[in-house]
Amino acid sequence: MALLDSLFGSAAMGEVFSDAARLQHMLDFEAALARAEASCGVIPADAGAAISSKCKANRIDANALATATAASLNPAIPLVKQLTALVAKDDPEAAQFVHWGTTSQDANDTGLVLQIRKALDILDADLVALCRGLAKLAQEHRSTPMAGRTLMQHALPTTFGAKVAGWLDAMNRHRERFAQTRTRVLVLQFGGAVGTLAALREKGLQVAEALAAELQLGLPTLPWHTQRDRVAEVATTLGLCTGTLGKIARDISLHMQTEIAEVFEPAGEGRGGSSTMPHKRNPVSAAVVLSAATRVPGLVSTMLSAMVQEDERGLGDWHAEWETLPEIFHLTAGALHQMATIVPHLEVDVARMRRNLDATQGLIFAEAVAMTMGKDLGKSAAHELLEVASRQARQSGKHLREVLAQNRVVTEHLTSADLDRLFAPENYLGVAQELVDRVINASRKH
């Protein structure tokens, strides 16, 4: 499936979760463990150095490891065997202390945490870029009137800046979630066979502290072999982010429709074309993001289902995480990068937005008139009057303003100038512009 990697994923994220990276991070755990145990006097100092020097992924026979993993159910087991053999070639005595006092899940999970740290760094960079682009777009179109739509129908005037501010506000929350998730997830996994560090006896906690310091990870209160809320939190955080990206992509694609034509993805050579229709300009990035938003929820569900694990080591459910979480990262990174790339270059047709405001022949201003008339007639009576007038406008094909100008009740309370004012979108935007400012100001604090 490598043919589609550049479409749906991210090259940088692919490297983080490559086989070589996975092996190297597990070896990073083994190297740090050896150094930590040597510093705590658990193993000889020269053994720590000897083991650490061999912890290089390019020294490992990956094909043999893959074959052995199929039999052992766990890549750490054959990895430790190969590492031990490598150390034994130069220092048979040091080889006795490889993987001392730990268990295979410690190497697997801590290696995963190290991958997650790099993966979150990649996502953070695109999150910052996307939020910067959205803030600029919201500021530029703070006062650009457009039709607000509810249930796919014209509702009331709003501004394009307010729409973009809604996107930005959600992405700001995801930045907060990512930061909070880091504190809970970027922690060491180190517990030995059943989480008691029994093999290290009284030195267990000392080694754990030294190991966490070596890897620059937090030290949890206790090992978390079958408490999978941490990795499930990462998955759900990514799922929430991808959902918001999907919402943005849905809005952009809707507004790229020929009949609306208000917002467009950037054009480019070979971008968004058709194999048979020369005129087509398809929403490419939106399609990629929507694909991710469709796929990720099911993967998140798998991660949540995998939380129910047996006793001190999960059977099957732990293993279900291994390919699932990297795929979530891969899809989220691809979607986020697509959106961060196109937002600064979106083409906005302000004139078309203005024209579309009048697509319903003034019906979009019915509430504005009703609220004004309600001060004299009462809310219910004014609402009913405008319902009747709106129906007359639709049936006759006349503009609502024309219908109202011929209504005796309306003209008793509103002048022609009043009607002109009520049918100007700039006069019925509420506090949209102030709300845009609030979101932009909040974004600057992140």
- Assess whether 3 and 132 both reside in one domain: no
Clarify whether 10 is annotated catalytic: no
CA-angle at 122, arms to 117 and 123, nearest 5°: 95
Report the CATH number that the domain containing residue 23 is assigned in CATH.
Answer: 1.10.275.10
User: How far, in Å, are 155, 197, 268, 363, 399 from residue 404 at the CA level?
Assistant: 19, 81, 47, 11, 9
Please state, in angstroms and rounded to a whole number, the distance separating the CA atoms of residues 423 and 426.
9
Q: CB burial class (10 A; 0-12, 13-18, 19+) of residue 73?
A: exposed
Q: Is residue 219 domain-resident?
A: no
pTM: 0.94
Clarify whether 285 is annotated catalytic: no
- Assess whether 239 and 372 both reside in one domain: no
Q: Is residue 285 domain-resident?
A: yes
Q: CB burial class (10 A; 0-12, 13-18, 19+) of residue 117?
A: middle
Q: pLDDT averaged over consecutive 10-residue blocks of the chain (446 residues)?
A: 75 95 98 98 97 97 96 96 98 98 98 98 97 98 98 97 98 97 98 97 97 98 98 98 98 96 85 59 92 98 98 96 97 97 97 97 97 95 97 96 96 96 96 98 91
Cβ atoms 363, 394 nearer than 8 A: yes
- Assess whether 156 and 280 both reside in one domain: yes
In this prediction, residue 6 carries a pLDDT of 75
- Assess whether 131 and 237 both reside in one domain: yes
- Assess whether 335 and 410 both reside in one domain: no
Q: Is residue 215 domain-resident?
A: no
Last residue of a domain, one of 175, 210, 245: 210
DSSP class of residue 218 equals: B
| Pairing mode, strands 347-348 and 145-150 | unpaired
- Assess whether 272 and 375 both reside in one domain: no
Closest to 94 (Cα-Cα) out of 67, 60, 55, 130: 55
Report the CATH number that the domain containing residue 255 is assigned in CATH.
Answer: 1.20.200.10
Longest dimension (CA), the chain: 103
Please state, in angstroms and rounded to a whole number, the distance separating the CA atoms of residues 281 and 256.
9
- Assess whether 309 and 342 both reside in one domain: yes
Q: Is residue 263 domain-resident?
A: yes
A 10 A CB-CB count for 96 gives 14
Q: Is residue 278 domain-resident?
A: yes
Cβ atoms 215, 110 nearer than 8 A: yes
- Assess whether 33 and 182 both reside in one domain: no
Q: Is residue 183 domain-resident?
A: yes
- Assess whether 441 and 386 both reside in one domain: no
Q: Is residue 11 domain-resident?
A: yes
Structural domains in the chain (count): 3
Cβ atoms 112, 54 nearer than 8 A: no
- Assess whether 122 and 95 both reside in one domain: no
Q: Exactly one of 117, 177, 295, 313 is catalytic; name it.
A: 313
Q: Per the structure block, which two tokens stand in for 428?
A: 């019925």
In this prediction, residue 2 carries a pLDDT of 74
Q: Exactly one of 6, 271, 274, 355 is catalytic; name it.
A: 274
Report the CATH number that the domain containing residue 411 is assigned in CATH.
Answer: 1.10.40.30
- Assess whether 54 and 86 both reside in one domain: yes
DSSP class of residue 260 equals: T
Q: Is residue 238 domain-resident?
A: yes
User: How far, in Å, are 114, 272, 386 from residue 215 at the CA level?
Assistant: 8, 45, 68
In this prediction, residue 111 carries a pLDDT of 98
Last residue of a domain, one of 156, 178, 210: 210
- pLDDT tens for 219-232 read 999 999 999 999 99
Torsion of CA 219, 221, 225, 228, to 10 degrees: -90
Please state, in angstroms and rounded to a whole number, the distance separating the CA atoms of residues 265 and 287.
11
Q: Per the structure block, which two tokens stand in for 6?
A: 């550049």
Closest to 103 (Cα-Cα) out of 221, 213, 233, 195: 195
Its domain, for residue 12, covers: 1-102+199-210
φ, ψ (nearest 5 deg) of residue 147:
-80, 125
- pLDDT tens for 299-324 read 999 999 999 999 999 999 999 999 99
A 10 A CB-CB count for 445 gives 6
Please state, in angstroms and rounded to a whole number, the distance separating the CA atoms of residues 443 and 17.
31
- In 195-276, which residue ranges form alpha helices assigned H by DSSP? 204-215, 229-255
- Assess whether 302 and 442 both reside in one domain: yes
Closest to 163 (Cα-Cα) out of 146, 178, 179, 177: 146
